[in-house]
Structure 1
Amino acid sequence: MQDSFVNLDIKDTIATVTFFTPHHNALPTAILNRLEAVLNEVADDRNVNVVILQSGGDRTFCAGASFNELIAIDNESKGKDFFMGFAKVILAMRNCPKPIIVRVQGKTVGGGVGIAAAADYCLASTYASIKLSELSIGIGPFVIGPAVERKIGVSAFSQMTLNAQEFYKPEWAKANGLFAEVLESNEALDERVAELAKHLASYNPEALRAAKKIFWEGTDEWQSILEARAETSGKLVLSQFTKEKLQSYK
């Protein structure tokens, strides 16, 4: 946890939420819980019209969930709690009435893909390859599945899920709807994020809230769906197959 953080900066009705961990922005439960709390905070802040969600560092947006925590799970209850970490962040993004721009500056894996998929507008750099590696260790992208499938469709989601060893290029992610735009450098990415956020912040807040509500129609059952998916994942992570895989990586 040392040097890990979730920071919030609010300026001119734009809230910038930044998370970071030294392990390629892999997220432990404590940081996921903090990220959920900050997203809920800006959701209720009348001085915020737009949210930018980003991570620190240059070439990795998010390596998924904390491997150290994953390998330490020893019962189903702890397993479900662990997988609910990303579920809670995705639900907080869904429930936030303000548009959320996600800035993806580098590679993203597993739960990080779920965060990108839960964006209302996702901007990425040319370094932002994506991968769903969960099936290769005996679990699956079940908790993030509703968000990813909603954004890229069943065909692309199943392709990524089954081809769990491959990184998909950012251009593929853009063609399949995950990324709205792919910028040639992180500098260009930052400029575009700032430009878009400034434009959105100048729009009618009531119209933005109405648009956000429309974007997420049909997701009212996600709370129960994601809890059930977390329970499934919590059981699978205790399987002999997964335990042996995790030990081999350790």
Structure 2
Amino acid sequence: MTAFVKQEVKNNIGYLTFFHPAGNSFPSAQLQELVKLIQDLDANENAAIIVLQSEGTTFCAGASFDELLQIDNLSDGKQFFSGFANVINAMRNCSKLIVGKVQGKAVGGGVGIIAACDYAIATTKADVKLSEFTIGIGPFVIEPAVSRKIGHTAMGELTLAGNEWKSATWAFEKGLFAKLVQPEDLESELVKFTTQLASYNPDALAEMKKVLWQNTAHWTTLLYERAEISGKLVLSAFTKKALGKNKNL
């Protein structure tokens, strides 16, 4: 299958679905498309809420290694990592609540995208890892979103043990996931929860969205400052060598 990001609206719910054959990793073009479709669904009066999901067994493998290897200057580096900043800010600024459907593992930027969801339903197979240190960079852009959900202590634990998977149960207990279910129950739980949520007063939902994201207006600049840090680090010899040894974040 070829990579895609697509949207549809069914029963008052907007669905955003992404896929990439390399573990649902994100190249810049797909990050840009995801931002556009978030904004499109935000403006769509037929969608009361949004579900963010991926196809395949892995939820999201984070950044595209192939594209990271091609970065050879600070401008391009900052621009690439700004892609994740753009997605998180689009999710934050969206007036509609976003529910994440997490069927499998998430790494790096994928963890950040889950954290930027207002509510995430995950399966017991949805282990998480922040492996950025292992390739010479760090989860600087996504840190504000992840720390907002699980706290600085758990964020530090997840980051510093960058070679270790944390279980879906760990992620649920720390607050990254709002609900944890068996894989066979994911679809039914999602339908039940989102159908109920979409039936509520849309004005009340929009006001609640503002409350959930209060005190984050400074992310408009903060995330891009963080993108510059990552953009510098990706140019280092350490990172280039590490990227060459690894094909998945």
Q: TM-score, normalised by structure 1?
A: 0.97
Give the structure 2 partner of residue 24 of structure 1: 23
Q: Aligned ranges for residues 1-250 of structure 1 at < 5 Å?
A: 3-57=2-56, 59-185=57-183, 187-249=184-246
Q: Which amino acid aligns with 1:162?
A: L
Structure 1 unaligned segments of length 5 or more: list them.
Answer: none
Shift of 1:249: 2.6
CA distance in 2, matches of 1:96, 1:194: 21
Shift of 1:243: 1.2
CA distance in 1, matches of 2:172, 2:246: 31
CA distance in 2, matches of 1:247, 1:200: 45
Shift of 1:99: 0.8
Shift of 1:100: 0.4
Shift of 1:136: 1.1
Shift of 1:175: 0.5
CA distance in 1, matches of 2:161, 2:147: 15
Shift of 1:248: 2.6
CA distance in 2, matches of 1:32, 1:47: 24
CA distance in 2, matches of 1:90, 1:84: 10
CA distance in 1, matches of 2:241, 2:65: 14
Q: Secondary structure at the match of 2:40?
A: helix
Shift of 1:105: 0.3
CA distance in 1, matches of 2:246, 2:34: 28
Q: Percent identity?
A: 51
CA distance in 2, matches of 1:175, 1:140: 24
CA distance in 1, matches of 2:21, 2:219: 31
Q: Which amino acid aligns with 1:229?
A: R
Shift of 1:245: 1.1
CA distance in 2, matches of 1:12, 1:246: 43
Q: TM-score, normalised by structure 2?
A: 0.97
Structure 2 unaligned segments of length 5 or more: list them.
Answer: none
Shift of 1:44: 1.3
CA distance in 2, matches of 1:236, 1:222: 21
Q: Which amino acid aligns with 2:130?
A: L
CA distance in 2, matches of 1:132, 1:169: 12
Q: Which amino acid aligns with 1:60?
A: T
CA distance in 2, matches of 1:249, 1:86: 21
CA distance in 2, matches of 1:244, 1:118: 31
Q: Which amino acid aligns with 2:58?
A: T
